Amino acid sequence: MEKILFLAYTQDDGLLPKAALETLNAAIDLASKLQAPLSLGLIGDNVQAAADAIAGCGAQEFFAVEGPDFASSRYASDAAAAEALARRAGATLVLAPSVSRFARSLPGAALRLDGRIETHVCALDPGGDSLSIQRWYYRQRMIATLTRSQRPWFLLIDPGVFKPWEGQQGQATVDKVTVALPENARRTRFVGFEAPAADAQTIRPEAELLFVAGAGWTKKQADGQPHVKEAEKLIHDFITKAKASLGSSKSLVDQTCEGGEVISLLSHLNQVGQTGATPRHPKGLATCCHGEEPHTVGWRFINERRAVNLDGSCGWAIGKADVLYVADAFQVMAKVNELLGD
Ligand SMILES: Cc1cc2nc3c(=O)[nH]c(=O)nc-3n(C[C@H](O)[C@H](O)[C@H](O)COP(=O)(O)OP(=O)(O)OC[C@H]3O[C@@H](n4cnc5c(N)ncnc54)[C@H](O)[C@@H]3O)c2cc1C
Three-state SS sequence of the chain: CCCEEEEEECCCCCCCCHHHHHHHHHHHHHHHHHCCCEEEEEEECCCHHHHHHCHHHCCCEEEEEECHHHCCCCHHHHHHHHHHHHHHHCCCEEEEECCHHHHHHHHHHHHHCCCEEEEEECEEECCCCCCEEEEEECCCCEEEEECCCCCCEEEEECCCCCCCCCCCCCCCCEEECCCCCCHHHHCCCCCCCCCCCHHHCCCCCCCCEEEEECHHHHCCCCCCCCCHHHHHHHHHHHHHHHCCEEEECHHHHHHHHCCCCCCCCCCHHHEECCCCECCCEEEEEEECCCCCHHHHHHHCCEEEEEEEECCCCCHHHCCCCCEEEECCHHHHHHHHHHHHCC
Q: Is residue 76 part of a domain?
A: yes
Which residues form the domain of 46?
4-186
Residues 214 and 180 in one domain: no
Q: Nearest residue CA, atom 27 of ligand 1?
A: 215
The total of structural domains in the chain comes to 2
Would you say the CB of residue 329 lies under 6 angstroms from ligand 1?
yes
Cα–ligand 1 centroid distance for 306 (angstroms): 15
Domain boundary among 164, 186, 208: 186
Whole-angstrom Cα distance, residue 77 to residue 83? 10
Would you say the CB of residue 254 lies under 6 angstroms from ligand 1?
no
CA dihedral 13, 121, 103, 51 (to 10 degrees): 30
Q: Is residue 209 part of a domain?
A: yes
Cα–ligand 1 centroid distance for 178 (angstroms): 54
Residues 8 and 89 in one domain: yes
Residues 262 and 114 in one domain: no
CB atoms within 10 A of CB 184: 7
Residues 6 or more apart in contact with residue 149 via CB below 8 angstroms = none
Q: Does the pLDDT of residue 280 top 80, yes or no?
A: yes
Residues 18 and 164 in one domain: yes
Greater pLDDT, 101 or 199:
101
Task: Give the CATH number, domain containing residue 271.
Answer: 3.40.50.1220
pLDDT at 199: 65
Q: Which of 157, 159, 240, 226 is nearest to 197 (CA)?
A: 240
Task: Give the CATH number, domain containing residue 134.
Answer: 3.40.50.620
Task: Quickly state the pLDDT bin for 42 (edges 50, 70, 90).
Answer: very high
Is residue 312 within 8 A of residue 209, CB to CB? The reply is no
Greater pLDDT, 136 or 20:
20
Q: Is residue 72 part of a domain?
A: yes
Would you say the CB of residue 216 lies under 6 angstroms from ligand 1?
yes
Would you say the CB of residue 24 lies under 6 angstroms from ligand 1?
no
Residues 222 and 165 in one domain: no
Cα–ligand 1 centroid distance for 125 (angstroms): 37
Residues 63 and 212 in one domain: no
Residue 158: C-alpha distances to residues 78, 133, 209, 288 (Å): 19, 12, 19, 30
pLDDT at 129: 63
Q: Nearest residue CA, atom 32 of ligand 1?
A: 216
Q: Is residue 191 part of a domain?
A: no
pLDDT at 304: 97
Q: What is the mean pLDDT of residues 195-224?
A: 89
Q: Does the pLDDT of residue 138 top 90, yes or no?
A: no
pLDDT at 184: 94
Which atom of ligand 1 is nearest the CA belonging to 248?
Answer: 11
Residues 178 and 212 in one domain: no
Cα–ligand 1 centroid distance for 337 (angstroms): 24
Which atom of ligand 1 is nearest the CA belonging to 289?
Answer: 25
Q: Using most ligand atoms within 8 A of CB, pick from 309, 328, 330 the residue to mutate for ligand 1.
A: 309
Q: Does the pLDDT of residue 173 top 90, yes or no?
A: yes
Q: What is the mean pLDDT of residues 160-187?
A: 96
Express each pLDDT in 305-330 by its tens digit.
Answer: 999 999 999 999 999 999 999 999 99
Q: Does the pLDDT of residue 115 top 80, yes or no?
A: yes
Residues 325 and 235 in one domain: yes
Mark 187-210 as b/e (b = at least 16 C-beta within 10 Å): eeeeeeeeeeeeeeebebeebebb
pLDDT at 262: 84
Would you say the CB of residue 297 lies under 6 angstroms from ligand 1?
no
pLDDT at 192: 86
Would you say the CB of residue 296 lies under 6 angstroms from ligand 1?
no
Domain boundary among 152, 186, 220: 186
Q: Using most ligand atoms within 8 A of CB, pick from 274, 318, 332 the residue to mutate for ligand 1.
A: 274
Q: Nearest residue CA, atom 48 of ligand 1?
A: 290
pLDDT at 200: 72
Whole-angstrom Cα distance, residue 75 to residue 44? 14
Domain boundary among 140, 161, 186: 186
- pTM score, whole prediction: 0.75
Residues 149 and 245 in one domain: no
Q: What is the mean pLDDT of residues 247-268?
A: 87
pLDDT at 230: 97
Would you say the CB of residue 9 lies under 6 angstroms from ligand 1?
no
Q: Is residue 118 part of a domain?
A: yes
Whole-angstrom Cα distance, residue 184 to residue 31? 37
Nearest-10 crossing angle of helices 100-112, 75-89: 60
Which atom of ligand 1 is nearest the CA belonging to 215?
Answer: 26
Whole-angstrom Cα distance, residue 102 to residue 205? 18
Cα–ligand 1 centroid distance for 271 (angstroms): 11
pLDDT at 157: 97
Residues 129 and 224 in one domain: no
Residues 225 and 179 in one domain: no
Whole-angstrom Cα distance, residue 154 to residue 93? 6
pLDDT at 337: 98
Q: What is the mean pLDDT of residues 294-301?
A: 94
Residues 6 or more apart in contact with residue 228 via CB below 8 angstroms = 217, 218, 261, 262, 263
Which atom of ligand 1 is nearest the CA belonging to 213?
Answer: 26
Share of the chain above pLDDT 90, in %: 88
Residues 137 and 66 in one domain: yes
Q: Does the pLDDT of residue 256 top 80, yes or no?
A: no
Cα–ligand 1 centroid distance for 200 (angstroms): 24
Express each pLDDT in 185-207 by its tens digit.
Answer: 999 999 988 776 666 789 998 89
